[in-house]
Amino acid sequence: MEVIKGVGEMQEVSLHLKRAWKSIGLVPTMGYLHRGHLSLIEAARRENDIVIMSNFVNPLQFGPKEDFAAYPRDPDRDSKLAESAGVDYVFAPSGKEMYPENYSTHVEVKGPMVEKMCGRSRPGHFRGVTTVVLKLFIITQPDRAYFGQKDAQQAIIVRKMVTDLNVPLKIIACPIVRDADGLALSSRNIYLSSEERKQALTLPKALSAGKDMILNGETDPKRVQERIIKMLESSSGIRIDYVEVVNGDNLEELQAIKGKVLLAAAIYVGKTRLIDNIDLEV
C-alpha cells in the first residue's frame, strides 16, 4: 500500500491506472476508521482491481460551531487498518493541498433534498460535501465510489450531483454496520460517556419501532413519525434534531407509506450529534 499526499501525484497515478484499464473503487473517509469504513473497503475490494481510500477531514463541511478541530484523527492507525483491509492507495492530502490560497469554487446541489434534515440543521454542510467529493472524483478517477447508508441523505445528494453533472461513475451505498448493542458505528461515538451511550441506544430502538409499525400495516407516515418521536422523548438525555419518514430515493414527503421508505433521525446526546436511519421497501 502507498500513501499519497499530493493532488498532482494522486491524479497522475489514477490516470495511469485508467490507461492500463484498471477499475478503481474509491472509499472517501475522514479517517478514524471503524468497522463501518472497513466494510466499504471490503466491498470496493471485491468489485474493483484497485482500491483508493481518501483520508481527509474536510473543513468545508463543518459549521463554525462544529467539531472540526476536535474531530478524532489517527492517520497512522488508519493506514494500518486500510492496508490490512486491502487498500492499494491512501490519498491523504493536507487542507492547503485541497484548498490552496485563493480557492473559490464550490459545487452545490439545490432543492428540497438539501434543505431538509441535516441540510436544515447544518447550513452549508452539503455544499462542503459535494465540493470535496467531486474534487476526489476528479483526482482519483474512480469507476465506483462507496458510501455508508448511515449517511443516507449524503449518498442521495452525491448521487444526484453525479447524475446532473454526468460524472462517469457509480455511487454505491453500503449497509449500516452496528455494534452488538445496536448503535450505528460512528467516529463520534467516542465522545459518548457510558451513560450517554445507554441513552443513545434509544435512537435505533425508536427507528426499529417505526419499522415494525410499517411491517404491521401502518400506512400513515405521520403516525410512524409520532411514534419515533415519542420514544426518543422518553429518554431525558436526548434532544431531538429531526425525525423524518420520507421517500427513500429522493427524500420527498410521503402522503402514504409505499415503495422505498426511509426512516431517519438525528439527535443530540449531551454535546454529541448522532444520526441513524432504516430503509425498507413496502
Active site residues: 37
Beta bridge partners of 48: none
> By C-alpha distance, which of 265, 51, 11 is closest to 150?
265
For residue 67 the three cell numbers come to 467539531
Strand order in the sheet with 272-281: 238-247, 260-269, 272-281
Q: What do you get for the CA distance between the two ends of the chain, in Å? A: 43
CA 162 to chain centre: 16
Secondary structure E strands in 115-169: 144-148
Rg over alpha carbons for the chain, rounded to the nearest Å, is 19
User: The dihedral of CA 200, 211, 179, 136: what is its sign?
Assistant: negative
Cβ atoms within 10 A of the Cβ of 120, count? 13
Tell me the C-alpha distance between 74 and 32, whole Å. 6
The residues, any chain, with a CB within 8 Å of residue 65's CB and separated by 6 or more, are none
Tell me the C-alpha distance between 236 and 248, whole Å. 30
> By C-alpha distance, which of 103, 80, 19, 92 is closest to 52?
92
Tell me the C-alpha distance between 282 and 280, whole Å. 7
Tell me the C-alpha distance between 126 and 131, whole Å. 8
